[in-house]
Chains A and B, each alone.
Chain A
Amino acid sequence: MLGNLGKNLTKTMKKLAGMPIIDEEVVKEVVKDIQRALIQSDVNIKLVFKLSKTIEERALKEEPPKGITPREYIITIVYEELVNLVGSKAEEVEVNAKPYRIMFVGLQGSGKTTTIGKLTRYLQKKGFRPAIVSTDTWRPAAYEQLRQLTESMDVPLYGDPENKDALDLAKKGIEQFKKNDIVIIDTAGRHKEEQDLLNEMEQLSAIVNPNEVMLVIDGTIGQQAREQALAFNKATDVGSIVITKLDGSAKGGGALSAVSEIGAPIKFIGTGERIDDFEAFDPERFISRLLGMGDIKTLLEKA
């Protein structure tokens, strides 16, 4: 049932293939299919309508370049509009300060702590020497989780399960790792209705003074992604985004909506629970998945 949308879209696209010119009715039909695909992928409803309006206008107004069929041209437009939102290539973590401080934030259970393990391994492979500070005083065994995640990695870790003051932990951790290349700070999960915790995050940010705040977004989240991301961005300036749990069947459209709202680039995706299930963000693959179209790349290459 769910896979059908992608198929519908492909079907409409095939129908288009035979058409010499793009007429309004056909464009409307294609745009409707694209809307459905995007909504099913959890893209914010308002963003879907905004996007589809632009796509419709462009498809009707612009002249496809020579040798390109209308169908291929519409795909190109859709792709361009989505790339406009997420960027055309993955941005790196640019380590331009010492220590370079990365603070992780996000909703409860989104995957912050696991992702810190993954990013640490990733940065080590690039030759850096990161250290980690645990400031999660809420979740039982948060420190122990980090310790076990990183025990095979030879990475310095600061935390104290007895200390229930997150700000104090942050202060001491930052002090301890002054000489490291990179310091990664784990924080407790929180959401936009927990004002105390958002205040705590703001204070943490003031102490850590992060070079980059990474917002971790669960790939399975729906329409709430936008509001939640806005609240995080208000409390601290979000610098980049990681989308987790893309090894399931969710499409990550919620995360896309967050990106469009706060403008921070998606840098990585999580594709499993293990340390190596971690990839640099690939816009093309992400957009193919969002639209439920198997191989957008070959189509684009033709166009």
Chain B
Amino acid sequence: SGMFSFVTKKTISEKDIDDILFELEMSLLESDVAMEVAEKIINSVKEDLVGRKIRRRSDVAEFTRDALKKAISEILGVETKDLKEMADKAQKSGEPLKIMFVGINGTGKTTTIAKVATYFINEGYTPVIAAADTFRAGAIEQITHHADNIGVKIIKHKKGADPAAVAYDAVEHAKAKGKEIVLIDTAGRMQTNVNLMDEMKKIKRVVKPDLIIYVGDSLTGNDAVEQASKFDEAVGVDGIVLTKADADAKGGAALSIGYVINKPILFLGVGQSYEDIMEFKPEWMVDQLV
């Protein structure tokens, strides 16, 4: 080692990055990334960096920030699904594409279905909606209004009816009328409610959806981890929609849910109107978080 070695080489030690990592962890937590997930991410960044050689001490902070960006991009960068492609494929096989929406109470499932239906209509498809929330007061009327507003056929039974039967009928309707997509609304339920989680499994068994979409509220805090993992365990989630992103949420819940389910975030809900839906861009969220 010559006299200029300090210029060309320095090994990053834990001590070098402790402060900046703490700072970054706090900012993740303030953005509503669940603590469990924030810690895992920070640890992986630490492992990635400690022992690496750098040129200048002043590079450490930037290096760390970049490593964190990379870690987050990996979580959010799961290969996404092309819904239109799926619909075309299903149609060729003579079956409609069946999409079921699940999530805890009040996250925005019903509204999101109206938005996704609008999205499909704009793309030239004809969806049908199943009013399979037969439990909550006013649920059938709510989705019926939405369906009427956007001009989509709704299949419904009476309040209290078997949700699986409603969903089944909607699929039969789509087959008979040659409609390409069935969107199934389900009642909100707490992940801790065993009976309701079982009821949801039954709907899945009966209709065998091609896609189960988990609708999460972007204002959710640490519980996002528990909610998402219980729904995923129960029915197996294929994609995520994050609602109420217009409420100035920093989007940490996206990371918590994405981390737990390891499936793509398909859309963001950004308002209460039918057009208020955006395809999710991981880069956008990474910039928001770091």
Task: Note all chain B residues with C-beta closer than 8 A to A142.
Answer: 138
Q: Is residue A70 within 8 Å, beta carbon to beta carbon, of the partner chain?
A: no
Q: Is residue B137 within 8 Å, beta carbon to beta carbon, of the partner chain?
A: yes
Cβ–Cβ contact B108 & A247, under 8 A = no
Cβ–Cβ contact B222 & A42, under 8 A = yes
Contact with B along A180-221 (1 / 0, CB 8 A): 000000000001111000000000000000000000001011
Q: Is residue A85 within 8 Å, beta carbon to beta carbon, of the partner chain?
A: no
Cβ–Cβ contact B221 & A254, under 8 A = yes
What's the Cα separation between A139 and B107 when bound, in Å? 14
Cβ–Cβ contact A248 & B248, under 8 A = no
Nearest A-chain residue to B249, judged by Cβ: A224
Nearest A-chain residue to B149, judged by Cβ: A140
Chain A contributes a number of interface residues (CB within 8 A of B) equal to 47
Task: Note all chain B residues with C-beta closer than 8 A to A108.
Answer: 106, 108, 244, 247, 272
Cβ–Cβ contact A141 & B105, under 8 A = no
What's the Cα separation between A111 and B223 when bound, in Å? 17
Contact with A along B86-111 (1 / 0, CB 8 A): 00000000000000000011111000
Q: Separation in Å of the B129 CB from the closest CB of chain A?
A: 13
What's the Cα separation between A251 and B220 when bound, in Å? 12
What's the Cα separation between A191 and B225 when bound, in Å? 24
Q: Which of B44-52, B116-124, B185-193, B277-285 participates in binding chain A?
A: B185-193
Cβ–Cβ contact A148 & B138, under 8 A = yes
From B107, B226, B252, A222 is in contact (CB under 8 Å) with B252
Cβ–Cβ contact A109 & B106, under 8 A = yes
What's the Cα separation between A149 and B35 when bound, in Å? 37
Cβ–Cβ contact B32 & A223, under 8 A = yes
Q: Is residue A273 within 8 Å, beta carbon to beta carbon, of the partner chain?
A: yes
Cβ–Cβ contact A2 & B225, under 8 A = yes
Nearest B-chain residue to A219, judged by Cβ: B223
Q: Is residue B227 within 8 Å, beta carbon to beta carbon, of the partner chain?
A: yes
**191-246 of chain B: CB within 8 A of chain A:** 191-193, 217, 219-227, 244, 246
Which A residues form the contact surface with B (CB < 8 A)? 1-2, 36, 39-42, 45, 107-111, 114, 117, 138-142, 144-149, 191-194, 218, 220-224, 227-228, 245, 247-251, 253-254, 273
Task: Note all chain B residues with C-beta closer than 8 A to A221.
Answer: 219-221
What's the Cα separation between A1 and B145 when bound, in Å? 42
Q: Separation in Å of the B273 CB from the closest CB of chain A?
A: 10
Cβ–Cβ contact A222 & B32, under 8 A = yes
**116-169 of chain B: CB within 8 A of chain A:** 135-139, 141-146, 149, 159
Nearest A-chain residue to B26, judged by Cβ: A45
Q: Separation in Å of the A72 CB from the closest CB of chain B?
A: 27
Contact with A along B28-43 (1 / 0, CB 8 A): 0111101110000000
Which B residues form the contact surface with A (CB < 8 A)? 26, 29-32, 34-36, 104-108, 135-139, 141-146, 149, 159, 190-193, 217, 219-227, 244, 246-250, 252-253, 272
Q: Separation in Å of the A28 CB from the closest CB of chain B?
A: 15
Cβ–Cβ contact A140 & B146, under 8 A = yes
Cβ–Cβ contact B272 & A220, under 8 A = no
Cβ–Cβ contact B226 & A39, under 8 A = no
Nearest A-chain residue to B137, judged by Cβ: A148
Cβ–Cβ contact B190 & A141, under 8 A = no
Cβ–Cβ contact B30 & A249, under 8 A = no
Task: Note all chain A residues with C-beta closer than 8 A to B36.
Answer: 1-2, 40
From B34, B105, B149, A273 is in contact (CB under 8 Å) with B105
Cβ–Cβ contact B221 & A220, under 8 A = yes
Task: Note all chain A residues with C-beta closer than 8 A to B253.
Answer: 222
Nearest B-chain residue to A143, judged by Cβ: B138
Contact status of A192 and B190, CB under 8 A, knowing A41-B222, A220-B221:
no
Cβ–Cβ contact A220 & B104, under 8 A = yes
Cβ–Cβ contact B248 & A223, under 8 A = no
Contact status of A227 and B248, CB under 8 A, knowing A145-B137, A247-B192:
yes
